[in-house]
Amino acid sequence: MLSTSRGLAARDLLEYGEEAAAEWVYLCSEDDFMKVCAAADWILLHGPTTPSGASMMVARAIAAAAVFVHEGRPRDLARKRRRKLPEPSPEERRRVGFDQAPDFRAQRAKGEHYGVTDELKEFWATDAHG
């Protein structure tokens, strides 16, 4: 089961040009953030692969999952390639919620792929998005 912090998810979103979802991830409910983690996990396990057979980058899967939960439907990210940001500054790390990750026990109780829809599966289960 994948878990990340809100701050790292926001940075992943910014690197892929998804500013609105990056701001949303700090404000979304704990339930929605658990859905982001679950959807990212599903995308990594069942989504597109590279020519070598490896799964997509974790940062891309998290960004794609956050966009899906935020907008209510899956879509390609604004950027195909991420624009790597510098390491977070101490001020950025102090942002409320930056290091907040879902409660692992609550996440497990929701189930491995909580919130994953057939629409997400159909969209990301092809290598057309690789």
Domain count, the chain: 1
Residue 90 belongs to domain spanning: 6-129
- Count Cβ atoms below 10 Å from residue 101 Cβ, excluding itself: 16
Q: Dump pLDDT digits (tens) for 5-24.
A: 999 999 999 999 999 999 99
Q: Is residue 1 part of a domain?
A: no
In a domain, 114, yes or no: yes
pTM score of the predicted model:
0.91
What is the tens place of the pLDDT at every residue in 54-80?
888 999 999 999 999 999 999 999 999
Cα 125 → chain centroid: 16
Structural domain contains residue 26: yes
Q: At what angle do helices 58-71 and 19-27 cross, to 10 degrees?
A: 80
